Amino acid sequence: MIDKSLIEDATAWRRHLHANPETAFEEKATSDFVAAKLAGFGIEVHRGLGDTGVVGTLKRGTSPAAVGLRADMDALFIHEENDVDYRSRVDGKMHACGHDGHTAMLLAAAGHLARKGEFDGTVRFIFQPAEETGDERCGGNAMVKEGLFDKFPVDAIFGLHNFPNIPAGQFLMRTGPMLASIDTFEFHILSRLSHPAAQYAVPDPLLTASRIVQDMHNFKARYLNPAEPVVLSITQFRSGDPSHRQGVHVTPDIAIVRGTLYTLNDAVRDAFATGLEKIVRHAAEAAGAGHKFQFERGYPVLRNTPEEMKLAAGVAQEIVGRPHVDAAMQPIMGAEDFAFMLGKVPGCYVFLSSGRPGEEAAPRPLHNPRYDFNDEIIPTGVRYWTTLAERYLKQAVARGR
């Protein structure tokens, strides 16, 4: 069992981290805090991977097997609207995704395993920066590229995220693709400023870009297998003089459009990367306008491996009971940079639900200024981590690893 005092400590750590949020690659005080706690438990600490990343290594016995448990530490650029005594002390920044809770739960698991863990092998506690960037410059990728798994090898890696959408105390996961890839794209349609009455003589970037936006949505509707889940969104469309000084009687010389793409299939990503470029090029050529197109790949599809998913589901069932574990959840079209780690080693990412009773009518979703990690799930999360690590290493020894 996990000591009650350790759970109380974890709750206090969570609130301390909540009050002191730090955003991508600036998690200096947070990583100091994490490193100090790990060292206090007698765990070997390595710092500096991905700038502010922290890796704790706990070895016991003689088995060469190693398992990695990962938490994320970064906050978001959101101004907190909660009125709690541990509310964010930093204007414009808050822990609105629960990474304060993820960090506190993994720290408590480290504390428990260091004091009372029954295992033969190595447990690595991986605290990563910058999960929220959405592009390849994220913390998970940074740690992997800087040699996380060469310097700290593991046979499998596991991740966990809180999930406030449904009442607390349930685990959700699946084998295979569970979360989407995220890519961003941007295109420019280039022309010259003109008089609206003489627009026929000059390509119209605004009209051309509008057509392209329609065609991009049509591409999804008519050129892809509809069984493939895809979310294409145009999120920015800028044209004309935003200062309004030019007034309404000047037609614009440029239209800039940006958007995002979420998919569960790499072939679909590739089809979009080439298809969208073609749509922009052809429409610009037809209009006689210039163009630029850029497709930037972000997080890959997050895929759980079958063996590790089975183990995670079994541990979850043991903790919350079989009816409270959905091991075949529908994939979610959001993205997670843990996918970079799962791209290198087998493993499993799970959701631990964290909704509060009575909030169904006015939910406080992730990335919301009124979101607050639900401390009630801390004991469940800590038990999941500690049981999972012990079980994984026990199975590895049984397999002769």
Sign of the Cα pseudo-torsion (31, 34, 36, 42, in order): negative
The DSSP secondary structure of 229-279, one letter per residue, reads -EEEEEEEEEES-TT-TT-TTSB-SEEEEEEEEEES-HHHHHHHHHHHHHH
Closest CA to 344 of 153, 175, 63: 153
Whether the Cβ atoms of residue 24 and residue 139 lie closer than 8 Å to each other: yes
The nearest distance, CB 146 to Zn ion, in angstroms, is 22
Tell me, by CB under 5 A, how many residues bind Zn ion: 1
Strand partners, 187: 257, 293
Taking CB under 5 A as the binding criterion, the range among 58-66, 95-103, 220-228, 388-396 that sits at the site for Zn ion is 95-103
Whether the Cβ atoms of residue 180 and residue 334 lie closer than 8 Å to each other: yes
Long-range contacts of 314-317 (CB under 8 A, 24+ apart): 314/391, 315/384, 315/387, 315/388, 315/391, 316/171, 316/173, 316/350, 316/384
Residues constituting the chain: 401
- For residues 97 and 341, which CB has a smaller minimum distance to Zn ion in the complex? 97
Task: Tell whether residue 75 is a contact of Zn ion (CB under 5 A).
Answer: no
The nearest distance, CB 107 to Zn ion, in angstroms, is 17
Taking CB under 5 A as the binding criterion, the range among 85-93, 96-104, 233-241, 342-350 that sits at the site for Zn ion is 96-104
- For residues 113 and 126, which CB has a smaller minimum distance to Zn ion in the complex? 126
The nearest distance, CB 55 to Zn ion, in angstroms, is 20
The nearest distance, CB 337 to Zn ion, in angstroms, is 9
- For residues 371 and 392, which CB has a smaller minimum distance to Zn ion in the complex? 371
Taking CB under 5 A as the binding criterion, the range among 7-15, 89-97, 119-127, 391-399 that sits at the site for Zn ion is 89-97
- For residues 183 and 337, which CB has a smaller minimum distance to Zn ion in the complex? 337
The nearest distance, CB 145 to Zn ion, in angstroms, is 21
Distance from C-alpha of 100 to C-alpha of 92, rounded to nearest angstrom: 16
Taking CB under 5 A as the binding criterion, the range among 11-19, 94-102, 297-305, 344-352 that sits at the site for Zn ion is 94-102
The nearest distance, CB 275 to Zn ion, in angstroms, is 29
Quick one: which of 10, 43, 54, 97 contacts Zn ion (CB under 5 A)? 97
Phi-psi region of 137 (alpha: psi -120 to 50; beta: other; left: phi over 0): alpha
- For residues 34 and 276, which CB has a smaller minimum distance to Zn ion in the complex? 34
Distance from C-alpha of 322 to C-alpha of 326, rounded to nearest angstrom: 8
SS3 call for 138: coil
Taking CB under 5 A as the binding criterion, the range among 61-69, 92-100, 206-214, 235-243 that sits at the site for Zn ion is 92-100
The nearest distance, CB 346 to Zn ion, in angstroms, is 22
- For residues 97 and 254, which CB has a smaller minimum distance to Zn ion in the complex? 97
The nearest distance, CB 99 to Zn ion, in angstroms, is 6
When CB distances to Zn ion are compared, the closest residue is 97
Q: Which residues of 360-369 are buried (b: 16+ CB within 10 A; e: fewer)?
A: eeeebebebe
Q: Which helix (H) or strand (E) element contains residue 70?
A: strand 66-72
Sheet holding 290-297, edge to edge: 230-239, 254-263, 181-190, 290-297
Distance from C-alpha of 359 to C-alpha of 13, rounded to nearest angstrom: 25
- For residues 144 and 189, which CB has a smaller minimum distance to Zn ion in the complex? 144
- For residues 152 and 351, which CB has a smaller minimum distance to Zn ion in the complex? 351
The DSSP secondary structure of 83-122, one letter per residue, reads --TT--SSTT-B--SSHHHHHHHHHHHHHHHHHH---SEE
The nearest distance, CB 149 to Zn ion, in angstroms, is 22
Taking CB under 5 A as the binding criterion, the range among 29-37, 91-99, 306-314, 375-383 that sits at the site for Zn ion is 91-99
- For residues 67 and 130, which CB has a smaller minimum distance to Zn ion in the complex? 130
- For residues 13 and 299, which CB has a smaller minimum distance to Zn ion in the complex? 299
The nearest distance, CB 354 to Zn ion, in angstroms, is 12
Query: How many Cβ atoms from other residues are within 10 Å of residue 87's Cβ?
Result: 14
Give the binding site for Zn ion (CB under 5 A): 97
